[in-house]
Structure 1
Amino acid sequence: MGVQFISGSVGKTGSKKMLLHALSQFGSCHASQRSFNNHIGVPISLAGLPQHADFAVQEMGMNAAGEIADLTQLTRPNIAFITRIADSHSAFFASTADIAAAKAEIFQAIEGPSIAILNRDDAFYAMLHAAAIAAGAKQVISFGHHPEATYRLVSITDHEAGMTIKACLAGTDCVFELRMYGRHLAENAMGVLACVAAAGLPADKAAAALVDCQPPSGRGQRHSGIYNNCKISIIDDSYNASPASMAAAFSSLAATPPHIMVLSEMRELGEATNSAHAALAPQINKLAPRIVIAIGSCHACDVGQLGSIDHCCCRQRY
């Protein structure tokens, strides 16, 4: 059985769903349910692992150093995939570098002809690469937009049904469709295809299959309808929020104005809470939404900078 682990500050669950869908084209694949990625969820997922599964995909999260090291001892993956390092859960860490070091614990128990899949665009790529090699990884495969990425995102064309992606898969040109929206999902799809190739399977076949994959609940789902004879789309990205995921969500909106935004607070940011919310304002102003509805007192740091945009802020914590 091939055991693949996914970690990272953002994009874990969506990448897990894409990887489950891709690997299922080649055999029986088991993946952790929902966001079962902590000290409770991982053992539950392992307890449900079918005896004869060809592949196992386990999401792994943390909010403290040492947690991933403990979880990897239970599973001992042979492929470890880190999506991106960002300031999620920064209330529990002194720096983003400390978050990267905690994520790198995923390499401590990799076994056999182990492979690390890393985002070449990540600021901590060199650090993670060194950690993987030091832990005994036999190979590091990179993905992303970076010109040196092995699985490289060349271009994205947005359209009503999703995205057309041009990619270079280890030197081979490929064009495929995603029924999802946002550059971050396209980047993570490249990591998924790198995982497929690391398992010795054809990445181009997996890429073609991704057209049928839908995003998980609350992570960029798009719902369309008619209101007052006008076509509208509601994008549900409400599951969680961090500075990186907010930026990714805003980026996915750029091609489809006009907008009405409903924003909740970002939590677990510690001393960076006010500055992180204030940093949303220029991103919102660039999109020029018609209305912004901000829920939670932390948004007082950004709604005051929204210029002529109509907005309101509910200061009562929920």
Structure 2
Amino acid sequence: MRDTVSWSALIGGLARSGKPDDALSLFDKMIRAGEEPNGITMVNLLEACASSAEVKRSKSAHGIAIRRGLADEVAVGTAILDMYSKSGTIIPSRRVFDRIPCRNIITWSAMIAGYGMNGLAQEALALLAKLRDQGLKPNAVTALSVLSACSHGGLVEEGISLVKSMIQEDGLNLDPEHYACVADMLARAGKLDGAIDLIESIPLRLKPGASAWSAIMNGCRTFMNAEISKMTIPRVLELEPLCSGSYMLTSGILAASRMWGEAARVRKLGKERGVKVVAGYSLVHVENRACRFLAGDETHEFAGEIRRVARQLHSSLRFHGEYDKLMGTGCYG
């Protein structure tokens, strides 16, 4: 017999395995079986909704939490605001934050991260200031949230200044994830040499992994720096020799720089090492149905119609003179 604990564990496992639709279906089965969800169940359900990034589902899950009397629990409330943030609806996220009766540092950090992921870096910094006014001390997770917000908002000087203040005033000990985030912030701003200098100056025990070098590579792609890109590729493949994403990223950057031969060699190297490439996909929900789209997928039931609409969009962009602008930003290719 399954109880609430086992149902919750299964739902959480599916949510964290990239199967939000299955997690949501299992929750429905749990309710039909007469089991009463608890706070952990709701957190797992909300995580599944966050993964699907579908606003209608998010609102439905929020309603369930309210009706079950669980929305005021700090863990559930934090999961709700995180879900809304990941769905791109930051106003409901802030409303939930304001209504949580006993906010902890995790709740504050989640709201700061929500602002950051939605491009509202200044709001994230304002909330950090409010956190300090409440007498709370930012922790390592808060620092990551703030750095990520500054990175996406292009606030390099502010990000560096905040890190220094957290070290000096709050006793923050930086770990590899913090250094990787700073490297990403510098790379996004085009300060590629600075990002490399940072990584190479870090003590060996705190060296960030491939994520920091991948951030630099993405910066190379954005700012068309083939020289630094070629230097960082071996670092990424050395640090993550069995990660499919590393090969996809490096071959994509080489191809974008028209280094077709080198791009082919990277793909061949991945194949020789037995790396299974997991194709990325786009996901949308149409009339409560999850629709996945893979590049070049000819087996999709609407493949012909998708190609037709894509050609129409391409022609329209050409006609209005927008295609070359998009190509110049690196959005294509």
> TM-score, with normalisation over the residues of structure 2?
0.34
Question: Higher helix share goes to which structure?
Answer: 2
Question: Higher strand share goes to which structure?
Answer: 1
Larger radius of gyration: 2
> TM-score, with normalisation over the residues of structure 1?
0.35
